[in-house]
Amino acid sequence: MQKLLLSLLLLLLCACGGAPSPSSPSPTSYGYSNGGGAGAAAPMAMPASMDREEVYAVQTPTTHSRGESDAKAAPAGPPPPPPQGTVPAQAQAAQKQQQQDNKAAETPHEPAMLIYTANLTMAVYQVEPALNAIEKVAKDMNGYLAVRSDSAITIRVPREKFTDALAQVEKTGDVVHREVTAEDVTDQFVDMDARLKNAMAMRDRLQDLLKKANTKEALEIEIQLERVMGEIESMEGKLKLLKDKIAFSMITVTFAARGEAAVRDMPLRLPFPWLNALGLPRLLSL
Amino acid sequence: MNRYWLIALAYLAIACGRPFDVKTAPGFVELEQQNTGYDFRATTPEGVVMSMKVEDAPSDKGADLDFWARSVTLQMRDVQGYALRDAKDVTSRDGTKGKQLRFGHDEGSKPYTYWVTVYVSQDRLFIVEAGGAQRLFDKWTPSLEWMHKSVRVQCNSWVAPVLASHTCNRW
């Protein structure tokens, strides 16, 4: 009996020895936990690569939270600041600069200057009512009609309402083809703005010079001034246009068959002649 | 000997018929074959037309009903600019499953309705078309639906079960 109890105790000891400590990362925390029961079947359900990808996505926050808990376990509070007197002035200045840089980095970036454009091709069905409906969408969204013909329409809507307007427009008919682009014109805008400021500064300098100049010099300065003024006007116009394009997104809808040319490269040209014989004109020609 | 001739004639009669059956609704008139490629075509006085034709579609090539329905949709929408307004699962009178694609299209700024229904049976593809000016089409829709429901693409007969499965003779 005693032998039996002893062997039982030994077994228990052996079993306890392998238990993971609470701090050690359990398999669960890495997402491979599907290790038990139902999880064992999981790898069979999807390719291993997919499984792993999903796991990694889950793993990131887990690791992060573990890092937080580690910090909590460490001695409380931030490290003590270095004594004031020991830091040289240069180092202090550098630190200040660093803090300023950090602040600048923390401030949110200005939203990129994007020009949104959508081109939709819709099936040729009830075109007139659809054109009216699209025009109404523009008005409802505080936008405006840019161009309208028998089979196409272009509207401009405020940038912040672009997605809503596009969704509304898509409801007016059967969208056969959809193309949405967002063109980043930040560089172009910044460059133009800088050039405009330089040109304006040049204009001011020339105007100052003109006040002090004699007749002969004044003639030359006026020629230069005229040139600079022309440049300023042109750049202001371009900048205004760019701002307008950014502020108002463009949605163009064309009611047309995409046609043979558009679909030639697509893998839908099937070698069944009867497909080409489908359609109303043939059916209705009695 | 006469008996053999009679049996042979009966088989031929069955085999020569159209491989489908469709009833013409009152108000429609069946048109004579005009070398238009249709095996059946009927019209109303206003020009609402329903037609039917058959194409070879060997089942061993693997093209099923979904394949043909998708092909028709792409052809009509992308190439011809028809709007797909609805797609319905339908069943012929003999129980064959089919797909009905309901399109809309403007012809000279006037809205038209156009239905294409496809069935796959007997290694063949059965294409049923119906179309007309939308207002008139709507008026004739009950008759068109009745005609669609009358379509048989597989016929059984106690006279010649083997041949009859490949034809729906009309006499």
Q: Which domain holds residue B68?
A: 24-154
- At a CB cut-off of 8 Å and minimum separation 6, what does B52 contact? B20, B22, B38, B39, B40, B41, B126, B127, B128, B129, B151
Q: What percent of chain A has pLDDT over 90?
A: 46
Provide the number of structural domains found in chain B. 2
Continuous H helices in chain A:
2-17, 37-45, 48-73, 89-106, 127-140, 162-170, 186-212, 215-247, 259-263, 273-276, 280-284
Is the same domain home to B6 and B47?
no
Is the same domain home to B88 and B60?
yes
Is the same domain home to B11 and B29?
no
Is the same domain home to B47 and B86?
yes
pTM above 0.90, yes or no: no
Is the same domain home to B11 and B76?
no
Contact A270 B82 (CB under 8 A): no
Q: What CATH number is given to the structural domain containing B48?
A: 3.40.1000.10
What is the pLDDT tens value at each position of chain B, 171 positions in all? 566 666 555 555 554 567 888 999 999 999 987 678 899 999 999 999 999 999 888 766 778 899 999 999 989 988 889 999 999 999 999 899 999 999 999 988 899 999 999 999 888 899 999 999 999 999 999 999 999 999 998 876 555 445 544 556 543
* A38-63 confidence digits (pLDDT tens): 333 333 333 333 332 332 233 333 33
Position A286 scores a pLDDT of 75
Q: Measure in Å the smallest separation between the Cα of B78 and chain A Cα atoms.
A: 5
Is the same domain home to B33 and B107?
yes
Residue A210: pLDDT band with limits 50, 70, 90 = very high
In what side-by-side order are the strands of the sheet with A175-184?
Answer: A144-148, A152-158, A248-255, A114-122, A175-184
Backbone angles phi, psi at A187, to 5 degrees: -60, -50
Q: Which of A257, A268, A283 sits opposite B81 (nearest CB)?
A: A257
Is the same domain home to B6 and B56?
no
Q: Measure in Å the smallest separation between the Cα of A38 and chain B Cα atoms.
A: 36
Residue B143 to residue B97: CA distance in whole angstroms:
21
Is the same domain home to B61 and B120?
yes
**Contacts with A273 from chain B: Cβ below 8 Å:** none
Domain layout of chain A by residue ranges: 113-259
Which tokens go with B3? 């008996």
Residue A262: pLDDT band with limits 50, 70, 90 = low
Q: What percent of chain A has pLDDT over 70?
A: 57
